[in-house]
Amino acid sequence: MQGIPIFAFTRKELFFVLAVFLLGFLLGATIISAYSGRDLDKLILENKELKTELAGLEKQLEQLDLKFKNRLIIQSINPYLDTDLNKHTQQEIIKKIRSLLDGFVGKEINEVDPLLLHNIINEASIIVEKRSYQLSLSYLVVSDKLQLYLKVKGDQKNNNEE
């Protein structure tokens, strides 16, 4: 048995098919590059804009740091919970406590009334996932970091279930 041709192409036809295939491949690659190049240009532009905005905000932050360097202000709120609730629920409670006390961030320490803080947070009820939790303030530290040490009581279902 002499070699049976696998392809029924002549040499010219084979080169023609190969040339069409390569031409199609190159044309497809060019179209994909042009299409994704547009998106890439948009992303590069957005990245440059964000870097410029970040540099401006960093400069503004440096100026504010210099301005408030000699003044004692509350920079953050750090609640610490004494509870055996799961981490997800604890995170939600801490998030609600921080949103409740957001107005104190940026205030000078001598302007903060500890009794007001005590009245706001002590025995406050916080609802997370249709359950009500009672907060009890153990102690409070007012410095550049407002630190609240809280006990979380109760785990009753909220009466206003929807």
Task: Give yes or no: residues 16 and 54 share one domain.
Answer: yes
Q: What are phi and psi of 75, to 5 degrees?
A: -105, -25
CA distances for 88 relative to 73, 94, 140, 158, 160, angstroms: 30, 10, 24, 18, 22
Judgement on whether residues 32 and 105 belong to the same structural domain of the protein: no
| pLDDT single digits (tens) 28-76 | 999 999 889 888 999 999 999 999 999 999 999 888 877 767 778 888 8
149 and 81 housed in the same domain: yes
Residues 147 and 82 grouped into a single domain: yes
Q: Would you say residue 82 lies in a domain?
A: yes
Q: Clarify whether residues 102 and 125 are in a common domain.
A: yes
Q: Which residue has the higher pLDDT, 1 or 78?
A: 78
Q: Are residues 81 and 149 both part of a single domain? A: yes
In a domain, 2, yes or no: no
Q: Find all residues with CB under 8 Å of 112, minimum gap 6, and list them.
A: 74, 104, 142, 146
Same-domain pairing of 90 and 116? yes
- Is there a domain that residue 60 lies in? yes
Q: Which of 125, 124, 126 is nearest to 116 (CA)?
A: 124
The neighbouring-strand residues paired with 133 are: 126
Instruction: Answer yes or no: do 53 and 98 share one domain.
Output: no
Whether the pTM exceeds 0.85: the reply is no
Last residue of a domain, one of 19, 52, 70: 70
Residue 162 has pLDDT above 50, yes or no: no
Average pLDDT on 116-126 reads: 88
Range of the domain at 87: 76-157
Dump the DSSP string for 16-76: HHHHHHHHHHHHHHHHHHHHHHHHHHHHHHHHHHHHHHHHHHHHHHHHHHHHTTTS-B--E
Q: Is the pLDDT of residue 8 over 50?
A: yes
Instruction: Please give the tally of structural domains in the chain.
Output: 2
